[in-house]
A and B are shown apart, each in its own frame.
Chain A
Amino acid sequence: MPFFSPLPMAFSSIVIFLMMAVLALALQNRQTFLVNMAFFLSTVSCGIGLYAGFEAVASGSQQTMIMPIGLPDLPFYIRVDALSGFFLSLVCLIGLFVSIYSFDYVKGIISTRSATKLVVFYCLFMAGMLLVLISDDAYFFLSSWELMALSSFFLVSFEDESAKNRRAAFLYILIAHIGAVMILLSFGILAGFAAGFENFMGYRFSAMRSAELSTLWASIAFFLAFFGFASKAGVIPLHVWLPEAHPAAPSNISALMSAVMLKIAVYGILRVCMDIIGIQLWWWGGVVLTIGLITAVMGILYALMQVDIKRVLAYSSVEHVGIITVGIGLSMIFTYFKLGTLAALALTAALYHSLSHSVFKSLLFMAAGSILHATGERNMERLGGLIHKMPWTSAMFLVGALSIAAMPPFSGFASEWLTFQAFLLSPVLPNPLLKLLFPLGAALLALTAALSARCFVKVFAVTFLGSARQASATEPHEVGISMRLAMSLAAVSSLALGLFPSFVIDWIDTVPQSLVGGRIASSAGAFGWMWLTPISAERASYSGPIVFIGILAALAVAWLAFHVKKAATRRSAPWDCGFEKMTPRMQYNSTSFAMPLRRIFGFLFIVRESVRTSRAQPGAAPRIRYSLRIEDRLWYVFYKPFSDAAFYLAKQANRLQHGRVQIYLLYSFITLITLLVFA
């Protein structure tokens, strides 16, 4: 195997991360050097990984290797193919941005606390994610999966002096392990049927692929795997940990978790549910599609209700995972009905959305991190007018907001447009029920896109526009060069992904080819790089470059024709209805902006709103206190009963505990007797 081929390159990238994790412990006392060195190596390593992934997808071939470590007779199997190559390049691309960003960001942290823990677990986290992607057997896969979950647990609890962060980390690790158990059980079923329950040899993915399962067992394995991975992806109702854990971590880690780790779960769904198990029943795809739609709509509605900028971003990740799941569900249904091209279109839409979501979500989290870095504030209700203080960050955030709101010509639009096209082609399906239900799904997706636009108008406007709602302790300032560079790279990528989708589709074409047996690049790029025509030119076409140039040209002509005129411009106070005492607190804020939607969709949440008026003394102006609490209804349906039951059981079990040695000896005695009787 030549060294400059995907597998050895991916492997060396992982080795660099693991080495750095060990090295970091030795460099504890030289924090600045540690940070510079760690993130320099991380940048290099991500570059290598990016090349590996790119090559693996472009060549479409696969490389395998067996590593004789692990348990006796159970070596680790390694494999890089187009699907893992795609996710490798996604992880490394975002890793590259985040590494560059971290130079300055982490230096802001070392003034107050040691960054050693952050660096060590960052490296382990990256290595864990990459290992998941190259593993080719259940044992290695789950070990890597745990490495990823545990290292990210320590990153979430990095600022562990706050009880809120500790709780977030606990919730995260709890749900991550429920998910891991489900994945383990699913692998158990598959491996058992593969080896006929005789030995452990069914643990290889290649053995599992050839396992013969009855429909019932296949369904059980499918849904165990799906929900196991879905819990990591934040699919509703398994999303509750996500909006707690992602904001709790330092912002560079939040960017990685939201942009990349969720995609590893998406990879898991594709690998296990579609590649290993395969689609045997059409309603599997239907369930996946429905759950995806619910996740998308609920995710964005939750996001709209938030006032913490990082929580908004976290909930919007839930929404986008929903959109990706919708694409996967569509692809599963089309695969079942042997519509190869359409399955490829839907899968390409899902992959493309994964990629574009990674880029713009990492951009937005990095920008949110910059705001936090500059102002020390995450609550939008206390921000405002930052566009004057942080021009660069605000421009980058605007690009991210336009992308996430699916505005042409940015990346979010290109990928959501593909998803819509996949929906619109559904009438060829032979199943009448699906024919009728698909359009409703498309309408829900349109609702999601529109609400997403609304949400990010709110976030950008409340944070950056208007004037500051509260005097901050320190004067906000623009952030350091490495942070600005990383954000700019992400912003340029986001625009490029929106402008030239046919290049990317051509590149990832090997993935749908190997997974669903169809391809779309030949039709999608039939009219050259400027045009995107998923099925045919008569059906639908979109040209990002022309739309971009067209808008720019019209804009420029309007500017030249009307702006250069010598008409006077002057500044004056805004219209205040004659009150003359406008304060920044009278501006619309996040809560008031979302009010119409609280009224329309409030029934989906538990909204507690109260207004209390009190007078300090008779005749004085009344003091008005407004309070608003929005709670998650699903928490009370899916979680509260279980946590209550767990506490109840623990309390009952507590009765056995007395702290007296005699009683414990009695317990041992009874156990022995019981065992002797039944043995």
Chain B
Amino acid sequence: MTNPSNSIIIESLQVATVIFLAPLFTGWVRMLKCWAQARTSAGIVQPYRDIYKLFFKEVVLAENASWIFRFTPYMVFGATVMAGAIIPVISTRAPLSATADIIALVAIFALARFFSALAGMDAGTAFGGMGSSREMMVASLAEPAMLMSVFTISLVNRSTSLSQMTHVIVNSPIILRPSLAFELLAFTLIAIAETGRIPVDNPATHLELTMIHEAMCLEFSGRHLALIEWAKEIKLFLFASLGIALFAPWGMATGEALPSLIISYITLAAKLAVIGVAIVLIETRLAKMRIFRVPEFLGSAFLLATLGMLSYFMLE
């Protein structure tokens, strides 16, 4: 068995990595996007500057906002960090990974969303309500597709425990499974919807009619906004890491030895860099779709996940 003090070190390292490197990933994506669109970028560390600045800004609360509104940023941040402790990022043996399997992980993200949606309605404006309503619509359609995709991956690995799934893939030879290829496609579509990227939502917009997530968070300011933004960056980082853990965990440390951890960090950085490029390519090539096209988008994610499952039963 593993040494408990080592476990604590690994877990702390992982949580620290998730919390403090997440803005860097967002910075990377934004920088690439600027380059791709022939704009001058603000630099890769701009998200850190934004968060730092917001923490010292005044908090402006809507007149009839209740404690829910003030509690939500902390709740969202707390739940997202908890999710970060569960997904194996640097080692397949993340000690807290066993506390929740992938279904519980989805539910922890849902908990954060539940509170954000409440906060959106708390100020009593039409915008907040619109954002909450749309966000919950996207989520309720994404969840069945997510479960279908999880189901197939758990069929392949005979587990829904994240740490176990990752461990199985790392320790098995690299084989191309058609089922996992379908699931990767489905998962990509779901991750785009869940993290609010183009073509489902545009994280950079403040145009009233197109906002989903931003409309919900419109009333936040100061340190509250800083926490919400930070949590959003962590969520993007985590979905990228979840994709890596489920589909391409090779290179990830399987124990606690220092050399393997260093290799783990290097491969993680390389994989994230590639994912960043992919995100930028998608976002530069596609336009945001109409909100009522999102059901079709997520419907196709569901179909892809189902096809993956069928191909598992037929071919493997």
Contacts and interface: CB of A to CB of B under 8 A. Distances in A.
B78 A541 contact: no
Interface residues on chain A, size class? 35 or more
A595 B291 CA distance: 12
Contact of B110 (A384, A453, A543, A584): A453
A605 to B, nearest CB: 17
B122 A543 contact: no
Contacts of A423: 151
Contacts of A432: 313
B108 interface: yes
Contacts of A551: 75, 78-79, 82, 108, 111
Contacts of B133: 458, 588, 592-596
A16 interface: no
Contacts of A637: none
Interface string A453-466: 11001101110111
Contacts of A460: 118
Contacts of B64: 385, 388, 466-467
Nearest to B151: A439
Nearest to B230: A558
B182 to A, nearest CB: 13
A470 to B, nearest CB: 14
Contact of B104 (A436, A547, A594, A595): A547
Contacts, number: 272
A374 interface: no
B233 interface: no
A616 interface: no
Contact of B66 (A407, A454, A465, A565): A465
A413 interface: yes
A461 B63 contact: no
Contact of A449 (B81, B143, B292): B143
B123 A574 contact: yes
Interface string A419-454: 011011001000010011001101111110111011
B122 A461 contact: yes
A420 B77 contact: no
A397 B113 CA distance: 18
B9 interface: no
A568 B78 contact: no
A567 interface: yes
A450 B137 CA distance: 9
Interface string B44-79: 000000000001111111111111100001110111
Interface stretch (B171-179, B221-229, B249-257, B276-284): B221-229
A570 B60 contact: yes
Interface in A383-436: 384-385, 387-388, 398, 402, 405-408, 413, 417, 420-421, 423-424, 427, 432, 435-436
Given A436-B310, A457-B136, A596-B134, A574 B62 contact: yes
B126 interface: yes
Interface in B92-145: 96, 98-101, 103-104, 107-108, 110-111, 113-114, 117-118, 120-130, 132-134, 136-137, 139-145
Contact of A450 (B101, B134, B140): B140
Interface string A528-557: 000100000111111100110011111110
A435 B313 CA distance: 9
A588 B129 contact: yes
A581 interface: no
Interface in A326-348: none
Given A388-B66, A407-B111, A539-B161, A567 B58 contact: yes
Interface string A169-183: 000000000000000
A587 B62 CA distance: 14
Contact of A436 (B158, B292, B313): B313
Contact of B78 (A442, A462, A558): A558
A600 interface: yes
Given A465-B124, A547-B104, A552-B78, A538 B160 contact: no
A631 to B, nearest CB: 23
A443 B148 contact: yes
B309 interface: yes
A421 B101 CA distance: 10
Contact of A461 (B108, B130, B132): B132
B99 A550 contact: yes
A434 to B, nearest CB: 12
B118 A461 contact: yes
Given A387-B66, A543-B98, A593-B132, A586 B126 contact: yes
A577 interface: yes
Interface string A569-603: 11111111100001010111100111111011000
Contact of B82 (A531, A547, A586): A547
Given A465-B121, A574-B125, A587-B126, A569 B155 contact: no
A540 to B, nearest CB: 4
Contacts of A648: none
B151 to A, nearest CB: 5
A432 B309 CA distance: 13
B75 A555 contact: yes
A454 B120 CA distance: 13
B216 to A, nearest CB: 11
How many chain B residues sit at the interface, stated as a range, is 35 or more
Interface in A199-235: none
A546 B137 CA distance: 30
B60 to A, nearest CB: 5
A589 B133 CA distance: 10
Contacts of A440: 306
A540 B164 CA distance: 9
A179 B310 CA distance: 40
A608 interface: no
Interface string A154-176: 00000000000000000000000
Contact of B309 (A439, A554, A593, A597): A439
A465 B77 CA distance: 21
Most interface-central of A436, A440, A453, A553 (chain B CB within 10 A)? A453
B214 interface: no
Nearest to A584: B124
Contact of A569 (B59, B101, B120, B148): B59
A420 B144 CA distance: 12
Given A388-B66, A465-B68, A575 B127 contact: yes
B180 interface: no
B295 interface: yes
A568 B111 contact: no
Most A CB contacts (10 A, CB to CB) among B56, B61, B64, B110 go to B64
A588 B59 contact: no
Interface in B267-316: 291-292, 295, 302, 306, 309-310, 313
B148 A538 contact: no
B188 interface: no
A567 B96 contact: no
A440 B152 CA distance: 11
Contacts of B155: 427
A443 B303 CA distance: 11
A615 interface: no
7 contacts: A407-B111, A417-B104, A443-B302, A462-B121, A558-B81, A565-B223, A582-B125
Interface of B: 55-68, 73-75, 77-79, 81-82, 85, 96, 98-101, 103-104, 107-108, 110-111, 113-114, 117-118, 120-130, 132-134, 136-137, 139-148, 151-152, 154-155, 158-161, 164, 208, 218-219, 222-223, 226-227, 291-292, 295, 302, 306, 309-310, 313
Given A465-B121, A554-B77, A569-B61, 5 more contacts: A439-B151, A443-B145, A446-B143, A562-B223, A600-B137
Nearest 10 A/B pairs, CB to CB: A588-B129, A555-B78, A461-B121, A466-B124, A450-B140, A450-B143, A554-B78, A446-B147, A574-B62, A554-B81
